[in-house]
Amino acid sequence: MQENIRNFSIIAHIDHGKSTLADRIIQECGSVADRDMSAQVMDTMDIEKERGITIKAQSVRLDYVKDGQNYVLNLIDTPGHVDFSYEVSRSLASSDGALLIVDSTQGVEAQTIANVYIAMDNDLELLPVVNKIDLPSADPDRVLEEVEEAIGLDCTEHNLISAKTGLGVRDLIDSIVDRVPAPKGDTNAPTKALIYDSWFDSYLGALALVRVYEGSIKKGQVVRMMNTEHEQQVLSLMYPHPLKKQQTDEIKTGEIGIVVLGIKTVDIIAVGDTITDAKNRTPQAIDGFEPAKPFVFAGIYPIDTDKFEDLRDALDKLRLNDSSISYEPESSAALGSGFRTGFLGMLHMEVIKERLEREFNLDLIATAPTVVYEVLKVDGEKISIQNPSELPMPNHIDTIFEPYVKATILVPDEFLGNVIKLLNDKRGVQNKMDYIGKRVLLDYDIPMNEIVMDFYDRLKSTTKGYASFDYEPIGFREGVLQKLDIKVAGEVVDALSIIVPENKALSKGREFIKALKELIPRQLFEVAVQASIGANIIARETVKSTGKNVTAKCYGGDITRKRKLLDKQKAGKKRMKSIGKVNVPQEAFMAVLKI
């Protein structure tokens, strides 16, 4: 029955216990037998279990009995990392309530605040939950005060739990049943369902995870995607479950389920699209999601150039599962054919590259990540630049605009000096600074270019891992920037070009060249590695030549025999230097990421 359905998400900062709580709720509802249970049972990808993070939001349908009444709980476990906030927004759009998990030892963090705002935008019922109360350093009262102070959320009704031991979990499920509203919607209206996730299955084709808002979806029904205007018959329907999907003949109003349409191409199903009946259509589509805007761009190239079409196919299939990536073909003189790919952040880039390599058996090189710049040319034309090699010559540029983000950082007051120094190094502009207990909430505007490389790592190391960080884009501002080119043996390696602030060009160039000198293998001739801005060389290192012993076979005899061979070698080296080609190894491109 519709009034006995509860759709809810779990939101929290990284490592505050979302996936562990999901495990306990699943166990408490008896949906997975103890022998089949594993830690983070909702995290189905190997990469998630290895890194200990959730990358994809996962759904599960659970049955629960309270006071003799049967309830259906649709639980959605969401990621905590800032790079995957798009997954969180999609999950919350298909929920009616959310559990806000806060660690009782760490309190409110940057991502906690960001997730609460997304939940509030979706008008969700928020249930404050304090986790890890079994730890000796737990202080639930202080944490609840912080939630009220930093977020303004009333915590009179709250739950104290330990997701690890299961303490308080049954009471929490009772609170979900009592406080999360039942889904609204007319059961007799035409079919109206929102696709909020999709993925590709080798046997079943493209699958859509939907929330039905009105009417129902039946097996054998011919449905229509309202955006792509494609019609298809429903082959089968399932309820989501991490281990065993349960078949059903109908998904009713308020329910969440998987629709199998037998589609083999990936361009028909779009996340955010509305499914309706082909003959009896709903008059208005559901508001979908704003398409995710990539912040970080990098070139992805197959090491084996024959694998270009395989990479295209892999990206097509992966995009069905992660609609926040964008890509278009590009070619590089150094690396051949590949794709300019857009990501939501550095962790997202790492994860996508690793998934492409693991799930599709590809060997890939990723170039240095860059952001999108807007360039106003002297003739008044405005262009967007994703790749540094596309930047016009300096005499054609009037102004370069770079993207800025609003960064929210929570840091213990003892590390405040370190963090402010780091933010000043990164050209940050302070907006405000508030004290919440013994911690400081910093609000800064920072150029996106400065945070895509190593900002997160440096923030964690300067604060011993205690700082938390969240950001959102706020538009473009004028910047004083230049393109830094790298030349190896006189040739510009386009894949190593980066755009840098004018005052950092010299130091960046020197750092870069020093790293490359160690990585480029020695040749039979000297190799010059140079950093240049336009026609000006600003830094240079030389990779010394390696000698081949041409006189090894001359045992004794006249010295002129050896001299003759050495002169011949010298002439050969001269010729080799003028036409020699140097292979830049993959490690060199990785070094760029480190710098």
Helix (H, G, I), strand (E, B) or coil at 520: coil
Burial 38-50 (b: 16+ CB within 10 A, else e): eebbbbebeebee
Joined tokens for residue 560: 């002129």
DSSP assignment letter at 191? P
CB atoms < 10 A from the CB of 52, how many? 12
- Residues 6 or more apart whose CB falls under 8 angstroms from that of 120 comprise 126
Contact between 423 and 430 under an 8 Å Cβ cutoff? The reply is yes
Which residues does the annotation place in the binding site? 15-20, 131-134
129, 100 Cβ separation under 8 angstroms: yes
Torsion over CA: 133, 137, 140, 144 (sign): negative
296-366 carries CATH number 3.30.70.870: yes
Helix (H, G, I), strand (E, B) or coil at 253: coil
For residue 254, give the DSSP letter: T
**How many Cα atoms sit within 13 Å of 95 on the Cβ side?**
35
Q: What is the pLDDT of residue 420?
A: 92
Question: Contact at 8 Å (CB) between 452 and 347?
Answer: no
Tokens of 367: 């170039």
Largest CA distance in the chain: 107
Which of 152, 146, 99 minimizes the C-alpha distance to 127? 99
- Count CB-CB contacts under 10 A for residue 553: 7
The alpha carbon torsion through 362, 363, 369, 370 (nearest 10 deg) reads -60
Q: SS in 3 state form for 13-72?
A: CCCCCHHHHHHHHHHHCCCCCHHHCCCCCCCCCHHHHHHCCCCCCEEEEEEEEECCEEEE
pLDDT given for residue 50 in this prediction: 61
**How far apart, in whole angstroms, are the C-alpha atoms of residue 319 and residue 317?**
5
Q: What is the CA radius of gyration of the chain?
A: 28
Distance (Å, rounded) from C-alpha 2 to C-alpha 385?
Answer: 50
Given this chain, do its domains 192-277 and 483-594 carry the same CATH topology? Answer: no
- The answer to whether the beta carbons of residues 10 and 43 sit under 8 Å apart is no
* Alpha-carbon gap, residue 401 to 384, rounded angstroms: 10
Phi, psi of 103 (to 5 degrees): -70, 130
Span 373-479 CATH architecture: 2-Layer Sandwich (3.30)
Coil, helix or strand for 156? coil
Confidence (pLDDT) at 333: 66
d(CA 539, CA 241): 57
pLDDT score for 61: 85
User: Two tokens at 356?
Assistant: 């492409």
Residue 393 exposure: Cα atoms within 13 Å on the Cβ side:
4
Taking only the tens of pLDDT, the chain with its 595 residues reads 788 889 888 888 877 787 788 888 888 887 666 655 555 555 555 665 565 666 666 788 888 888 888 888 888 877 766 666 666 777 777 888 888 899 888 888 877 887 888 888 888 888 889 998 888 988 888 888 888 888 888 888 888 888 888 888 889 899 989 998 988 888 888 888 888 777 777 788 888 888 898 888 998 888 888 877 888 888 989 888 766 778 888 888 988 888 988 887 666 777 778 888 888 888 887 776 666 677 788 888 888 878 889 999 888 888 877 777 888 888 776 677 888 888 887 778 888 888 888 888 888 888 777 788 888 888 888 888 877 878 888 788 888 898 888 888 888 888 889 899 999 988 889 998 888 877 888 999 999 888 876 787 788 788 877 787 878 788 899 888 888 888 887 777 777 788 888 888 888 888 888 877 777 777 767 778 888 887 788 888 887 777 667 666 777 667 787 788 778 877 766 665 555 566 666 566 655 555 5
**Length of the chain measured in residues:** 595
Position 147 scores a pLDDT of 86
Q: Which residues are CB-neighbours of 333 under 8 A, at least 6 positions away?
A: 494
Cβ atoms 461, 411 nearer than 8 A: no
pLDDT of residue 48: 53
Specify burial of residue 535 (Cβ count, 10 A radius: 0-12, 13-18, 19+). exposed
Structure tokens at 141: 């009262």
Cα gap 460→167, rounded to integer Å: 31
The C-alpha atoms of residue 568 and residue 244 are separated, in whole angstroms, by: 73
Q: CA nearest 122: which of 181, 61, 175?
A: 181
Q: Which CATH superfamily is domain 483-594 in?
A: Elongation factor 4, C-terminal domain (3.30.70.2570)
CATH homologous superfamily for the domain 192-277: Translation factors (2.40.30.10)
CB atoms within 10 A of CB 415: 18
| Domain map (residue ranges) of the chain | 2-179, 192-277, 296-366, 373-479, 483-594
Among 308, 319, 221, 311, which residue's Cα sits nearest to residue 265? 319
What residue type is assigned to position 551 of the chain? Answer: T
DSSP category for residue 84? G
Strand pairing category for 397-412 and 439-447:
antiparallel
pLDDT at residue number 421: 92
Fold for the domain defined by 2-179: Rossmann fold (3.40.50)
Q: Which residues contact 361 (CB under 8 A, 6 or more apart)?
A: none
For 559, other C-beta atoms within 10 Å of its C-beta total 8
Of 225, 244, 223, nearest to 233 by C-alpha is 223
Indicate the annotated binding residues for GTP: 15-20, 131-134
**266 φ/ψ angles, rounded to the nearest 5 degrees:** -95, -5
Helix (H) or strand (E) holding 335: none
